[in-house]
Structures are given as structure tokens and as C-alpha cells.
Structure 1
Amino acid sequence: MSLQLVEQYVRLCTGCPALEPGTRVEISLAQVADILCCTLRNATLTLKKMQNLGWLMWQPGRGRGHLSSLTCFIGPSDLVFSTAKELVQRGEIHASRQLIGDYQNRWPGLEDSYARWMSSQFGLSRGAKGTRGGDRVDTLRLFVDRPFGSLDPVSVLLRSQTHLVKQIFDTLVRFDPVTRTIEPQLAFSWDVDEAGRQWIFYLRKGVLFHHGLPLTAEDVCFSLRRLMDKPSLHRWLLRTVEDVRPLDDYTVAVMLKHPDDLLLHALSKEYAAIVPRGYSQEMGESFPALPVGSGPFKVVRNDDSMLVLEAFQSHFAGRPFLDRVELWCVPGLADETAKKQVQLLENDGRAQIAQQRRHPDWHGLSRREQCFQYVSLNGRKPGVLQQPAFRQALASLLDGSEMRADLQGSRHPVEGWGDAGLIAVAAEAVAVNVGMVAKECGYTGEPLRMYTYPDPDHEEDALWIQKRCAASGIVVEIVYAKPEDLAKPELLQRADLVLDSANVDEREELSLLELVFAETLSIYHHLDEAGRSMIAELAAKERQAAMNGILTVLRERNVLVPLYSNRIEREVHPRLCGLSLDSYGWIDYSRVFVRFQEM
């Protein structure tokens, strides 16, 4: 069925008001051609196609002066709705949503009906039996707001992308967030020399990539080298690595510029995931959209409509229980309909989920994100923000506790980085007459440009900051940018303020280093030269001392203003097991399994 034929049917029905479903109407072929804006021949062909599909009955008039008769069997809005559902079932979600969007203004309620139906498609489903051994096919289907685009470990930016990288790829070693220890993964063992500068990693034999070729030391060296190269967005991660080379097919040597206690933490990071050298080079620019790794799930589809992952039968640690994970791209799906997902609900955003649970037999998952929302002040850019007094005054104005009180929702105080953590970073904010300080610093009302993402929470935060600053006579102009644009150094350097979120997980020291060294984040570009030099020296110190020192530099320079962390809460069907929320609020699909129904 073509969408053009659907459009012609809608035009025919709306062009002839008397044409109600089941009602016979007398009409000439010339009138039909006029309504459809086509020739008599094309009108005849179109009517024949519609009749073959069972949409209508066309009976040509016999003899001169006799009108033909037309009977429609389906209302035009019903046809649009059913066609949209057919498109979804074929995996053409983008086209389906476009079709609904084309007619939503014509028929009020069409979009709501479509959203309710779409919400019913999510959750856990059992499909047709597989071809091997008659096993069922367990599919977990969820919705997301945007396509994923790149899933290449060296270029991912969003936490959602990073989460999926963990499902598709493996790293040399793995960080266990519960025990906070490093465990073997692709490397089953490793040695380090007495000087702490040469590490030897021994690779598992028999590890396969998704395209069937085995993992070798060349793949590991290729992956780490491209992470270290300048085009990489995350080269800060291996800033202490001097060289990587294979010693044989299953042994890799990593040489450091100086000892680095966090090397294993860095190698466990998703950005350091191992990719197949040959496939990556062969695919070139197509690799990020359709990557191949060695992880528990393989990518079988990734486009504007959906991302589809299938269990990798040959994963060295054992295949996942789930057979398939589908992430449908449904931007703007209404929150109330989203909450009707059958097996696993999305972020509920309420603090009292246990007391207000909609399904008494379901259980709740919740945790406070370690990630946090912040504003950075560009102390490096020429202008009023270079003056420490102005930055201090502005930092005192952007009070996270007052933002949380005003905006509420799932916003909670920031936690992280121990006793000398973010609370201490904000502790230096003092009550001052911001307008007076601004005038003393030479501020004359010029707009300060604040860049952020066009997501709902960022928009709400940005408007609060703009209003808050305006009350003290400081003009803030909000500029929205796509994530990939907000990661560009030239944009971060020209921004006066950046409203962003920091990625923090249980690898606390490494997360702090990412905040200050990652060139995709604003802090690196907003710290002045003296601040950068101090942090570079501190990073080489003992781990806890380095953390305390870096946080002190950020506090004293008023470059970082922490705002809040989110509380992530989800409801889970009692038959879904093995679920826990990671520090980013996502679930490891490889650990999910389904409890037997009769239990």
C-alpha cells in the first residue's frame, strides 16, 4: 500500500461530503477525477486499486446520462490510523509518525489515539518460536526521544549512547560498581613493572566479534591508538599513555609517560572499548551507525525509526537471556501514555513512588543519579567574566538550593566526590549585592550568552537562570545547541556560560578528571591558564589528594556552579528480574531475565 493512495482516498472522502462509510453515493467519473486532480484514466486506475484493497465499491454507470455509484467501507481517519499501525509493524516508525502528523490537525484526537496505541506496543513480548530447538523469542521494547546516530565508542557523547556501547562492546578490563574493583574482561590477566610504566595485558583466546572474526592484539592496539589520536573526542582518557604495541597475537604492552594509578579505571571506560580493526577501517564513516563489537548484543538495525539489538550467541561470557532489544524512536510520546508500558516503565520523576505505585504487585527501582546539572562560567574569555569578583557574584546568584525549591520535580542536592565534594565547591558562594558588584566590574548590560541543550529539563533550568539573573540586572541570552555542536571547542570557547550535565559514576576520580580534562566539556575551556596548570600538576598526585586539590581549584576560581542531581525512579513488572539502575539511570539488558509465569 502506498501512502499516496491513502492521501487520494482521504481527498476523495473529504471532497465528497456525502460519502460516509457504508453509504452509496451517485457520482460521475469526471467528478472523481476533478476531486483527485487527475485524468479520467488515472481516476479509473486509482478507484480500481482502492476497490482491490477493500476500501470501497465502484460501480460504473451504464449508458449515456447514468451516474456511477460509489460506496466507501472505511472512514478516512480510520484508514490513516490503520495505515500508521501497519507502518509501525513493518518497522517504519518515522514514516508512521509523519503520516499521523500530516493529519492530526484535520481530525482532533487522532494523535492521542495513536499515542495510546503506540504505548501498548512497549514492554516485554514473546514472539514466534525460533528455528533452533523451538525456543521462544523474548523481546524487550522501549521508546526513546531521539535516534542514536553514532555508537562508535570514541565518538559517543550522550549517556544513552554510552550505555548502549556497554551492550555492544567489551573493554580490556571491567569496573564492578558494587565492589568498586577492576575485574578481567577481554584481558584475563595483566602485569606491571616495578616502575609502574609498562603494563602487559594477556588476552582471552577464542573471543569473537559479531561478524565472526577473532579478537587479536592488533584489534586492541588499533582501538587504543585511535582513542589517543586527535580526532577522538575522548583522548584525555589515555593522556598518560605513551605507546601501545602487540607482543604477539594475544599479548599487548601499554607504555606510560609516568605511573598512573587510574590506568585500569581508564581502560574499563566505555570510550576504550575494543573494535575490530579490519571491519572498522573497511566501513569507514558507516561504522558509527552499524558498529561491530564483541559484546553481549549485536546491532542489526540503527536508523531514524529504531535501534535493534540481538543477543550474540557466541559472547565469551555467555549469551544474554533476552533475545532482542528494540528501542523505538518516538519523540514527544505523551508521558501519561508512556506510563502504560506493559512490563517496564520509563522515568516516573516522583519522589514517593513506593507510596503512589499504580500497580501494587510491581516493584520499584530508584536511585539518585551521581551525574549532576551544572553551570560553568567562562573565566578564560576576554570580558567581564575574567574578573574573579564578577564570577563569584554570579555563582552566588545561581543557588542550586533555590533552583530546586522553585522548580522541584526530581531535582535533589548534588552528592559526590567525598567530604571535599561538590557541596564544598558551592560553599564559597556568599550573599552579595550582585548588581553593585557587576557595576564595579564594569558590566554595562551586555548579554551573556548561555549555551545548553533544547531538552525540557535544560530549558526549564535555563529560563530560571535567565529570570534570576535579570532580577539583578544581568542579561542572559539562551542559545540552544545540539549535543554534537555543544561538544565543539570553538563553541565552548565563545560561550559565556554553559548549562550542562556532568557524567559521574562510581569511578569517582576518573569522573572528576573527565570533567576537567575532556575537551568536549566546558570546564576545560573555561579555566584560565593558571587554573589549568594547577590541575595538571594535581592530577599526578595521590588519588585522594588530587581530588581534593582539583575541587579546591574549581571552588576558588568559581568556574563550576553545581545545581542538582536527578532521582531516577522506575516501576518494574514482577516477572522481570536482574534489573538494577546504573549511575546513569539505565539498565544492563544483558542481566535481565524473565521469571516463570506461574510463580
Structure 2
Amino acid sequence: MNLVEHYIKLRSAYPPGKGEMAVTVAELAETLCCTRRNVKHLIRKMEERKWIRWMPGSGRGNRSVLIFRRGLEEMAVSHFTDLLEKGRVHDAMEFLRREELPEEVWEQCRERLHVRLGLQVEQADNRRREVLKIPLYRKLTTLDPSAVSVVAECHFVRQVYDTLVHYDAETRQLRPHLAHAWESDSAHAEWTFYLRKGVRFHDGRLLSAEDVRHTFLRLMEAPNSVMPWLARYIAEIEVMDEHAIRFRLTDSLPFFPRFLGTVNTSIRPREASARRHVGTGPFQIRELSDSRVVFEAFDGYFRERPLLDRIELWLVPGEKKGEARYQLPGEDEGGGEREVLFEQFACEMLVFNFRRPGPQHDIRFRRAMRAICDRRRMVKELGGNDRFPADSMLPEKSRSAEVSPSSLDEARSWLEGSRYAGETLSLYYFDQSEGNCGTKAKVADWIRRRAQAVGVRISPVPVPIDWLYRKELEEKADLFLMADVFDSDFESSWFMFFRNVNLFRRFLDPDRLNDVDRRTDRFVRGSSAEDRRRIIDEVEEFLHRDLTMLFLCHLYKRIKYPRNLQGMTFDSFGWADFRKLWIRPCGGRSDVARSG
């Protein structure tokens, strides 16, 4: 801690309106967490800089007079700005995390930070570089493709890694990617993929079939993998030559190539460790810390090089807003911005934990909770601009459904014959989740108040999003409020929702787990989209009948960006495709056409 931070800590320990204080050296030592000798040294240095005036008391133990000559706000904002100007991003972010900063000072510092975000034009090695700096309001959990389950992290993984195939949402077809072609035998039990030649990892090494083999072995064997179930379908992986690989399956599986386009199957080099993020993607990671993540364009990318040279995510402490911003410096909050209300392929749900004892095992209690969670009332009271009632995981299916209203009287009637005995149930939710799902605290409190009206005691418990990867979640939560954002390949994403070890299945008892696995196994063995859609309807009918979970709402995400920021195409997660972003110089047309 330097002298400025000692002063800020000292000033914040006393009321802001009092500039003169009677203190002892012992009290100051306790406040500053240092020795009396060091306190005297700090006092002398602060006096030399005319930050304070110090009038020592006469005699041992007598109180001295400390007069503050610089305000807390002035010193804190000036220090924070100085850290930013010197490029000390980590120190600046750590400074924002200081508990003693009053809210108004913290807000001023964050305003100074946002001025430095957006587009920055930098000179490096006699080269002009365009850098886009974006705030992120929480720390990342993991960027390991085999383990990633959080929306933002899935998006970032896609910038760094590539998959064998790519799903085209418009045509609903698989497209070649790292593999330029593939084929199967007549039984769809043996699949061969042919890799592009000359594809390089960020470290310069050439992609080979052995890297693909290693990736899938790791997916089946790694303890933190979200796809250990692959071992149920893959019997053998054979490297035929440097650019050809064959998967022998345990049975016929026409759906198999669709797995190979999901973000978790992104290809990594065979020697890579979980902490070394080397891929073949359009961006490579240059820095990964608790304060900043830096992506640099990969000049050797086998497809079109990104138009921006560098993208920085600044991990800003503080509350997450319900909108994503791509703010450029100099842009005002009015005509210089566009706002998009983006409909995420997302569904918010209340999940019952069947791995803990409690009234949630009683269907009558679950029916009471269904009545308590009146979806139309929830939308109306929480604000209908950001959500609409869900009756399915598919938004279009929910729109055509008749979502019947429910009453608290109905809830009371179900409770009368249930096993609920007045106990308090814990309702867990992630307090720093993506996009408008950041309103989960309001949803959890709404459920708490509605339940309280009929005598059900619910205690909302916010937890960090890294609890997604911790067993404490299913060990402690009676209820869990979750929102799953589906990928552009809805069918693969739907299957993964039920098979990902970090999501819904972690709350199921063995009987329900076996039932879900049996139904989803039939899903991936379906020979047509119509067959698979019937199974989706069948599973959702089971969920409605059993009330294993309660559908709540579909979500919108507000995205603001300046008109000069071009190439704004959004993926299913509501993030802009970093590869296509570019900056139109001021004075240019706003309706620029671009090929590709």
C-alpha cells in the first residue's frame, strides 16, 4: 500500500464532514494496520505533501490533532485516474475493490474508467492498432472448452478455439470448419472426418488428427469435463493419418456430427494443459488475469482475419447492469448510440432439488409452487419489457401456448394436503449472471414474497457464478433459480442442457435421472428433425406433469453500441461476434454494406 492509499484509508475512517480530529498514534496504528513507528513516518510524509496538518499532543498518551487538508473524493479519484494513465490496470481494479470507498467515490472512479473504455487507437512497432475495451462485471470462471458452461465464457472460448464443424442457424445445416469434409458408413456407426491442411495453433504448431483424438479422449476422461457421457457413444477413435480421423461408435447415431460443432468440443493441442489457452481461433489470449483479459487478432488464422487488432475485457468490480455496452469514447448517450432489444434463446426456470430431503418431493407442494409462480403476474410486476411467460424451452412454442393464470387461493389448497411443515427452504441463484438474467435477485425476492403470502418460508441465497462448478450447490440448495441460454443449434443445446453435469441433472434423484437419460438417448438416435421434435415435446410434457422444474420466463437482453461500431452481429448468447467488428471513421455513412 502506497502513501496515497494510506491517506485514503485514513480519511475514510472518519466522518466526511469532520476535517479536524483528536486522535492518538495508537488509534492511527490500528486504523492503518501498521506499527506506531510506521504511523509517525506516514504522518511526516503526508505533512510534507500538505495533505494533512499534524499537531502532536504533549506528553505520553495525550491526544493529538489531525486536520485533513485533502478530501477523500479528490484523492481517490485522482489516484485511480493516475493508475489508469500509467497502464496499471490490475492495481486500478484492485483499488475499486477497496471496501472503504464510499459509493459516490466508487461511482466517480468507475465513470473515469468508462471514459477509457471503448475504442482506443494505439501505436505499437510503428503500426496503428485499433483496440476495443469492454467492461465485464465479474471474474471469469474457466476458459477450458471441456469444462465451460457459463454463457460469456462459452462466447470467449469461441474466439480462441475452433470446432471440427460449424452449425449454420439460417440453413440449419452443418458447415465445414476445421474438417473440410466428413462421411459415415450406411449404419451411421462409423464417422470419418478429414482435416484442413496448414491450420496452425497460436503457438505455430500445425493441427493434426492426433490433436483431435486427444481432445475427445480428454472430454471423456477429464474429471471436470461436462461431456463424460461421450464415452457411452464412442467405442474407439482411430487416427488414420495426419489429416484423417475415424470415430467408431457403440451404435447407430445419425446425430453424432452435431456434437462436434458444440463449443465444448473445441480442438486443443495434445500437449496443452488446462491453464494454457492455445487454440486455432481468430483471437489468441495475450493476458488472462483477475483484472483484464486481452485477446489479440491471430494473423495466421485459417479463415478471414479479425478486423479489430485487439480486444480487452476489463473486469470491473461492481453491480452488473442488465444491458451490454460497446461504448466508444466521445460518443454521447443520445444520437450517437443505437439500442438493440435482443431476444435471447433463453429460458428462466425454478428447479427443485431432489437430492435433498424436503417437501419438494411432494407433488402437491410442487403444484402449490406452480400456483405461487404465476408467470403472467411475474412478468407484469417485474416489467414486461425484458421478459415474457415461458411454457416451454422454445420461445415460439411459449408464444402459442395458453399460460393460464393461477391464484394464491389455489396455492393454499394444494398446501393443505402437502408435506410442507413450515420449514424454511433455501432458494439459490447466481448473483452475477449474464445479461438481463442479472435481475435474478428481483425474481427470487418476488417468489419469496408470493410464497410468504401463503405461509411458505423461502430464503433467497445469492452465490457467485463459480458455484456452478462446485458440489455445494446441490448439497445446500432446496430450490435453484436458473436461466439457460441455448446455442444457435437448439437441438444440440437442448440435449446438452440435460446431459451437462453442471446444469439441470445435478438436482435429479436416480429415478428421474434414468428417465431423462433414457428419453434424451432416444433423442440423439432420432433419424429426423420430426422424430427429435416429438421427443422434445414428450420430455416437456413429462416436466409439466411431474413439475420437475417450473418454466418461468423467456428473456430479452438490451445492447447499446455507438453508430460508428460496425459489423454488430450477435450470436445466440447475445454477444457481438468479435471477428466482424470494425470502426467506421467519423463522417462516414452509417449504412455501410459489407460482403460476407
TM-score (norm 1): 0.80
| 1:211-230 correspondence to structure 2 within 5 Å | 211-229=203-221
Which residue number in structure 2 is paired with residue 112 of structure 1? 107
Question: Matches of 1:532 and 1:361 in 2, distance apart?
Answer: 49
CA contact (8 A) 1:201 1:252 kept: yes
CA distance in 2, matches of 1:393, 1:42: 62
How do 1:65-214 residues align onto structure 2 when only pairs under 5 Å count? 78-99=74-95, 102=98, 109-127=104-122, 129-131=123-125, 134-214=126-206
Name the structure 2 match of 1:66.
Answer: none
AA aligned to 2:573 is Y
Please, which of 408, 418, 431 is the counterpart of residue 454 of structure 1? 431
Structure-2 change in CA distance of 1:525 and 1:337 (3 Å): closer
Q: What CA distance in whole angstroms lies between the structure 1 residues aligned with 2:507 and 2:35?
A: 61
**Secondary structure class of the residue paired with 1:514:** helix
Secondary structure in 2 matching 1:391: helix
What's 1:550 paired with?
539
Unaligned runs of 5+ in 1: 21-32, 59-71, 281-286, 346-356
Q: 1:397 matched to which residue of 2?
A: 372
SS of the equivalent of 2:259 reads helix
CA contact (8 A) 1:122 1:143 kept: yes
Distance 1:187-1:110 versus aligned 2 partners, 3 A rule: same
SS for the counterpart of 2:277 is coil
In structure 2, what is the Cα distance between the partners aligned to 1:39 and 1:439? 66
Kindly state the Cα deviation for residue 145 of structure 1 after the two structures are TM-superposed.
Answer: 0.8
The structure-2 alpha-carbon separation of the partners of 1:579 and 1:147, relative to structure 1 and needing over 3 Å to count, comes to same
Structure 1 pair 182/487, CA: closer, same or farther in 2 (3 Å)? same
For residues 557 and 156 of structure 2, what CA distance do their matches in structure 1 show?
18
What amino acid is aligned across from residue 504 of structure 1 in structure 2?
F
For residues 39 and 424 of structure 2, what CA distance do their matches in structure 1 show?
60
CA contact (8 A) 1:116 1:337 kept: no
**Equivalent position amino acid for 1:393 in 2:** A
Inter-partner Cα distance in structure 1 for 2:452 and 2:46: 62
1:486, CA displacement in angstroms? 3.7
Provide, for residues 76-99 of structure 1, a one-character-per-residue CA deviation record: whole Å limited to 9, x for no partner: 754443332232344444532444
CA distance in structure 1 between the aligned counterparts of 2:216 and 2:419, rounded to whole angstroms: 48
2:417 aligned partner, one-letter code? E
Q: Give the structure 2 partner of residue 311 of structure 1.
A: 297
Q: Once the 2 structures are TM-superposed, how far is the Cα of residue 526 of structure 1 from its aligned partner?
A: 2.6
Could you tell me which residue of structure 2 aligns to residue 592 of structure 1? 581
Q: Which amino acid aligns with 1:270?
A: V
SS for the counterpart of 2:419 is coil
Matches within 5 A, 1:375-394: 375-379=350-354, 381-394=356-369
Paired residue for 1:241?
A: 234
- In the aligned structure 2, how far is the partner of 1:419 from the partner of 1:161? 24
Partner SS, residue 189 of structure 1: strand
1:186 touches 1:203 (CA, 8 Å); kept in 2?
yes
Match of 2:286 in 1: 300
Tell me the distance in 2 between the aligned counterparts of 1:101 and 1:537.
47
User: Which residue identity lines up with residue 575 of structure 2 in the other structure?
Assistant: W
Structure 1 position 3 matched with structure 2 position 2: yes
Task: State the alpha-carbon separation in 2 of the partners of residues 393 and 73 from structure 1.
Answer: 62
Which residue identity is paired with 1:513? Answer: F
Counterpart in the other structure of 2:269: 276
User: Which amino acid is the alignment partner of residue 306 of structure 1?
Assistant: R
Q: Distance in 2 between matches of 1:524 and 1:108?
A: 38
User: Which structure 2 residues correspond to residues 508-523 of structure 1 after superposition, within 5 A?
Assistant: 508-523=490-505
CA drift of 1:291 comes to 1.1
Aligned partner of 1:61 in structure 2 is none
Indicate yes or no: 2:394 matched with 1:410.
Answer: no
Q: Does 1:573 align with 2:562?
A: yes
What is the CA–CA distance in structure 2 between the aligned matches of 1:559 and 1:344, rounded to whole Å? 50
Q: 1:348-400 CA deviation, whole Å, 9 max, x = no partner?
A: xxxxxxxxx94225333332111121101235655432233332232232122
Instruction: Check whether the contact 2:375–2:405 (CA below 8 A) recurs between aligned residues.
Output: no
Deviations 1:564-599 (A, max 9, x none): 122122232222111122221111111111224342
Note closer, same or farther for the CA distance 1:297–1:252 as it changes in structure 2 (3 Å cut).
same
Q: Distance in 2 between matches of 1:499 and 1:265?
A: 29
What do residues 548-568 of structure 1 show as CA deviations (whole Å, max 9, x unaligned)? 222222121111211112212
Instruction: Tell me how far apart the structure 1 counterparts of residues 297 and 371 of structure 2 sit (CA, whole Å).
Output: 50
Q: Aligned letter for 2:583?
A: V
Task: Report what 1:443 is aligned to.
Answer: 420
Which is greater in Rg?
A: 1
Q: Does 1:433 align with 2:395?
A: no
Could you tell me which residue of structure 1 aligns to residue 455 of structure 2?
473
Structure 1 residues 45 and 415, CA, compared in 2 at 3 Å: closer, same or farther? closer
Work out the CA distance in 1 between the residues paired with 2:521 and 2:534: 11
1:37-52 mapped onto 2 (5 Å cutoff): none
User: CA RMSD for the aligned pairs?
Assistant: 3.9
Letter of the structure 2 residue corresponding to residue 499 of structure 1:
L
TM-fit CA distance, 1:460: 1.1
Aligned amino acid, residue 248 of structure 1: D
TM superposition shift of 1:444: 1.5
1:484 aligned to 460, 466, 474, which one?
466
**1:200 and 1:436, CA in 2 relative to 1: closer, same or farther beyond 3 A?**
same
| Residue number in structure 1 paired with 2:489 | 507
Cα distance in 2, alignment partners of residues 45 and 445 from structure 1: 57
Partner of 1:63: none
Match of 2:57 in 1: none
- Following superposition, the deviation at residue 327 of structure 1 comes to 0.7
Q: Does 1:360 align with 2:335?
A: yes
Q: Secondary structure, in 3 states, of the residue corresponding to 1:279? A: coil
Contact 1:296–1:320, Cα closer than 8 Å, also in 2: yes
Deviations 1:173-211 (A, max 9, x none): 111233322111111111111110111011111111111
* Matched AA of 1:476: I
Shift in Å, 1:324 = 0.7
Q: Residue type of the partner of 2:555?
A: N
Equivalent residues of 1:193, 1:199 under 8 A apart: yes
Aligned counterparts of 1:203 and 1:574: Cα–Cα separation in 2: 39
Counterpart contact for 1:364–1:571, Cα < 8 Å? yes
For normalisation by structure 2, the TM-score amounts to 0.80
> Which position in structure 1 is the counterpart of 2:63?
none
Are the structure 2 counterparts of residues 82 and 340 from structure 1 closer, same or farther at C-alpha, using a change threshold of 3 Å?
farther
Provide the rounded CA distance (Å) in 1 between the counterparts of 2:493 and 2:12: 60
In structure 1, give the amino acid aligned to 2:163.
T
Per the TM alignment, residue 48 of structure 1 is displaced from its structure 2 partner at its CA by 8.3
CA contact (8 A) 1:390 1:438 kept: yes
User: Alpha-carbon deviations, 1:389-447, whole Å to 9, x = none?
Assistant: 33223223212221111111522334866599456899588666322322312321122
The residue matched to 2:148 in structure 1 has which SS?
Answer: coil
2:289 maps to a residue whose letter is D
Q: What are the residue-to-residue correspondences of 1:244-263 with 2, within 5 Å?
A: 244-263=237-256
Change beyond 3 A, Cα 1:243–1:470: farther
- Residue 535 of structure 1 aligns with an amino acid whose one-letter code is R
Contact 1:401 / 1:563 at 8 angstroms: preserved in 2?
A: no
The number of residue pairs the alignment matches comes to 546
Q: How far, CA to CA, are the matches of 1:395 and 1:5 in structure 2? A: 55
1:232, 1:98 → 2: CA distance? 30
Q: Are 1:582 and 2:557 counterparts?
A: no
Q: Counterparts of 2:238 and 2:47 in 1: how far apart (Å)? A: 66
Q: Distance in 2 between matches of 1:8 and 1:317?
A: 53
Distance 1:154 1:183, change over 3 A: same
Aligned-partner SS, 1:165? helix
